[in-house]
Amino acid sequence: MVLREVAARVGITERAVQRIIADLEAGGVIEREKIGRQNHYRILSDQPLRHPIESHRSIGDLLELLSNEAP
């Protein structure tokens, strides 16, 4: 999915999506790989959550919780 599609689905601007992606990459949550002219992103699910109270949990734990609650 391209950033334009993400922006449309979420209801925010494409620029806002770009900033969020940049923040996630800088925070070590995602990794970017350039393939041709496109960027491909991979979630680093084994990384711990950033807040000290939740640091014993991983990003993967959070994603699993969210996916189990989806309708």
Taking a C-beta distance cutoff of 8 angstroms, is the pair 1, 12 a contact? no
pLDDT of residue 5: 95
Mean pLDDT of 58-70: 86
Pick from 59, 40, 39: nearest CA to 48: 59
What's the structural domain count of the chain? 1
Q: What confidence tens digit (pLDDT) does each residue in 35-59 have?
A: 999 999 999 999 998 888 988 999 9
Which residues, 6 or more positions from 23, have their beta carbon under 8 angstroms from its beta carbon? none
Report the alpha-carbon distance of residue 68 to residue 22 in Å, rounded: 27
> Is a pLDDT exceeding 90 seen at residue 1?
no
Identify the CATH number of the domain in which residue 42 sits: 1.10.10
Ramachandran angles phi, psi of 63, nearest 5°: -65, -40
Expressed as residue numbers, the domain containing 60 is 3-69
